[in-house]
Every structure is written in C-alpha cells, then in structure tokens.
Structure 1
C-alpha cells in the first residue's frame, strides 16, 4: 500500500474514531442527565413539600382573600403561587411565587422568588433567587431564605394600608366630628336609610345613632 493510501485510511479511521467518541459522549451525557433529572425531581419535590408550600400556606391562611393556587403547570411543576384578591383594605391584586429550576447540566439548582402587585404605587423587591449545588443542600439556610422573602412580601403588602394612592377611595368624613376617616380601618360604623357612615371613635357613632337626621342636616343643610 502506498503512503498516500495509508494517509487516506488514517484520516478516515480518525474521523470514524471521532464519531465513536461523540456517540459515547452523547450516551454518557444522556445517562448523566437521566440521573440528574431523577435527583432534581426528588430534591425539588422535597423542597416544595417540606419548605415552600407549608410556609406559603401559613401566609395565605392569615388572609381570607388569599389562596394558594392548586393548578399545576406541567411545564414547570416545581413552583408554588399565592394570589391575593382585591379588597377595600388592600385595594390591589398581588401574587407571590416561589419556584425551582436547574441549569442545563442539572448540576446546580435555583430557587427563585417573584412578586407582582397591581396597580403599583410603591417600590418593592420584585425578583430574587439563590443558587446551590444539587449535591450540597443546606436546609436551614434555605428555610431562612424562604421565610425572609415571605416576611418581606408581607411587609410590602401591609404597606398598602398606608400608601395614599391605594387608600384614596376609602377616605370619608365622620359626620359627627368632621374628621377624615379611612372606612376600611374605622373604629365604628352605622347605617341610616341604606347609607353606611364611618366614625373615628365609638363615641361619635353613639351620638350619630341617637340623632342621625340632626347630624346629617348639619352636614347638608336644606337651602
């Protein structure tokens, strides 16, 4: 065989070897991903079931208008969402989500946090995440991070009671003393002729109930 023919065969053999190496790499990668997928599913399920969901439930249970979503997104199964409906006291819709994902190699895990409040009249942390190796879970550290995020959300949500833009429609006049009162947080209220009236203290309500027409005539005297 000539040197030229030997060189041709060598190059073809090298190419065949590269193809074989590539196939073995794909096979090894597939095995690793399968193992990683199983490991991630077990880890993510554990985090959601023992750390995230119980604490999301604890938060939502303290508000009649909050619910933890039961629907499962098959494309992103490892996440938990709480939705807060609009009320007079909290005149905005809010949503908080905690979810878990992984990198392409399934070697590192990310726990992410996101919040939305509509309408937006205040500044707040909308997104954050932490990353850790799939093989080095520190549960106490993770619990502390989740609890800190949920408490931070609660601080933000409670601020809805204090921001003027949210509470503008709740401001009414106490018909007895003339003070401006937030009806969602007033000390007392009474109804008269199908209309609700709100008061700064119980004493103002008692005086109003004794003579509602008199106080309303003082506010709206006949011409």
Structure 2
C-alpha cells in the first residue's frame, strides 16, 4: 500500500496555512455579502430579460415552422426549450434548450445551450455556452449567438428529413445496428474491400478487434 505519510503532512501544512490567514472582520463580511446580493438581484433581472426578449422569441419562430414541435413552459427560471416529436418525416426525438446561468459570485453570466437528438443519425453539438461579464452584457451579442446556435440546430435537424431530395443514404453500424449518414460517421473501416461506417469510436474499435464477428462478408 502506498505510504500516506507525505499526503498527511501536506494536509496539515494546508490547514496550518489556512489558520494563519487573516480572517474577515464582521464588517468586511457584511459588506462582501451585500455586494454579492446586489449582483444576484442584477443577474436575476438581466437573465429574465434575456430569456423573455432574446431567447424565447427566437425559439418561437423556429417552433412555428414545424407541426411536431412544442415550446415548453419554463421548468426553471431563465430557461426555455423546444421539443420536436418523432414523426414519419423526422424519425427522431429532438430537444433544444437555452438557459441563463451564473458563477458563484454572480460576476459572470453564461448563456448555455443543450441539444438532444435520439436516435443519433447525425453529428451535432450537444452543449455550448457563451460566457459574458455580468456587468457588460450586450443583448445584440447574445441574440447573435443564440441565432447562430438555432440555425446550426436547424441545419442538423433538416438532415433527418425523410422527404428530402438528398441522395446521401443511411448506413448501418455493423456493431450496434444504429443507422447513420455516411457524413455523420465517427469512423470508417474497410474489410475485404467492403466499407463499414461506425456511429462511435467505441464501435469502430470493437470492429477492428474482431471484424469477422461483425462483417457482412465472411472469410472462408
């Protein structure tokens, strides 16, 4: 078993240094907490404004373009999301969500994006965020970022369109059986001249370890 003596000494050193650090006076602590509270109130107001005037109206525009969408009521403060139900034309369930978040001291505001598409036929950005100093947030900058993310999502979602004239075909991952577009493959491998496409690096590795088990073409 590794010796814990050195680690125990480091713990004691850190604790000793902490105890030697000067502590805040009650007045300093009260002043600090008052400043944090002011930033919290400012964040709440700003986040609500951004959600109502920037994020949600743009989600509404997107949602109106499809009959299989629903703009969800806010489950949490400063959060808006839109779901796309599975249908014949778009054979996948999708969700796009924006939330306005903050750091511990309310000094930085984050516009956070989360996307989900199931089953995964195409590559897409699952998460992204825009960090901004809380005291200098520009609505136009937030609007531009949100619009870019929405258009990226729309471009991805339209790749699922079963009525599209696109000539690109779906292929089946030989390991897990998932159907994916060639362009969305996480990896490819040729076995006896036959190309195979994979939804993930994990499936590619499994195939490379034992291609005979998964290949459609069997060797004699």
Q: With structure 2 as the length reference, what TM-score do the two structures score? A: 0.63
More helix per residue? 1
Mapped to 1, the partners of 2:60 and 2:134 lie a distance apart of 26
| CA deviation after TM superposition for structure 1 residue 71, in Å | 4.2
* Superposed CA offset, 1:175-199 (max 9, x none): xxxxxxxxxxxxxxxxxxxxxxxxx
- What is the correspondence of 1:135-150 to structure 2 with a 5 Å cutoff? 135-150=135-150
Is 1:57 the counterpart of 2:60 in the alignment? yes
5+ long unaligned stretches in structure 2: 1-18, 171-178, 182-220
Is 1:37 the counterpart of 2:62 in the alignment? no
The structure with the larger Rg is 1
| CA deviation after TM superposition for structure 1 residue 138, in Å | 1.7
* Superposed CA offset, 1:94-145 (max 9, x none): 0000111111110110001110000012111111111111111122221111
Is 1:129 the counterpart of 2:129 in the alignment? yes
Please say if residues 63 and 69 of structure 2, whose CA atoms lie closer than 8 Å, have aligned partners that are also in contact.
yes
Please say if residues 92 and 119 of structure 1, whose CA atoms lie closer than 8 Å, have aligned partners that are also in contact.
yes
**Could you say which residue in structure 2 is the equivalent of 1:197?**
none
- What is the correspondence of 1:98-177 to structure 2 with a 5 Å cutoff? 98-161=98-161, 164=170, 165=179
**Could you say which residue in structure 2 is the equivalent of 1:47?**
50
Mapped to 2, the partners of 1:83 and 1:25 lie a distance apart of 47
RMSD between aligned residues: 2.0
| CA deviation after TM superposition for structure 1 residue 22, in Å | 3.4
Mapped to 2, the partners of 1:119 and 1:45 lie a distance apart of 33
Give the 4+ runs in structure 1 shifted more than 3 A.
Answer: none
Matched pairs, number: 147
SS at match of 1:135: helix
| CA deviation after TM superposition for structure 1 residue 166, in Å | 7.2
